[in-house]
Amino acid sequence: MMQAIYDTLITSFIKNEVGIADNFLNLPLAAFLKQNLLGLYDKEQMRSAGTGNSAMVLHNKMVRSDKIYWLDPLRENLHEASFFKLIDNFIVYLNATCYTGITGYEFHYTLYEKGSFYQKHIDQFKSNKSRAYSMIMYLNTNWQLADGGELCIHHTKSLQNITPVNGKCVFFKSSDLVHEVLLTQEPRLSITGWLKVG
């Protein structure tokens, strides 16, 4: 089952530079992860996100206005452990089929409150090229087009808007594609991260 979903993600990436697979997160896991995220938000443990790497982080809500919480594979949480096992299995499959050489990753919970956005950017730092692929997995049930919050990918000759529907995964090269998160009219939840090399 998961191999077919992995294949869908990889095949669509090869075809269009952006891999998309529905149900990458199954419904029970997505629901538990959403509950974890909202619990952290309620306890005010999520922090305003910045731009730049750890050596120089800038906070400018005119550029991005989401809140994040970094995930730790060593944190004793059953459902986050299931998530990391899913990512580990995907990396094994990706490396075996596409010879990508992924050696690590980093992920965080992300919450865009109503009225939030993230302006155009790329995910790879100029001073650190370790981020090879970006992955976003959505945790939004009953999302409607009117809710906004699309991931807008800036291809060379076109724009691609991706609705943040529950369980969906988006996958692309961190160094190649300019993208943005459009203004959201409802709280928008995801797990966002990067597969790394070196």
Cα 95 to the center of its chain, rounded Å: 19
Domain ranges in the chain are 2-196
Confidence (pTM): 0.92
Q: How far is CA 108 from CA 36, 161, 191, 192, in A?
A: 12, 22, 6, 6
Q: What is the pLDDT of residues 66-98, one digit of tens each?
A: 999 999 999 889 999 999 999 999 999 999 999
Partners of residue 172 on adjacent β-strands: 134
Q: Which fold has domain 2-196?
A: Jelly Rolls (2.60.120)
Q: What is the pLDDT of residues 118-170, one digit of tens each?
A: 999 998 777 678 999 999 999 999 999 999 999 999 999 999 999 999 999 99
Q: Are 123 and 147 in contact (CB under 8 A)?
A: no
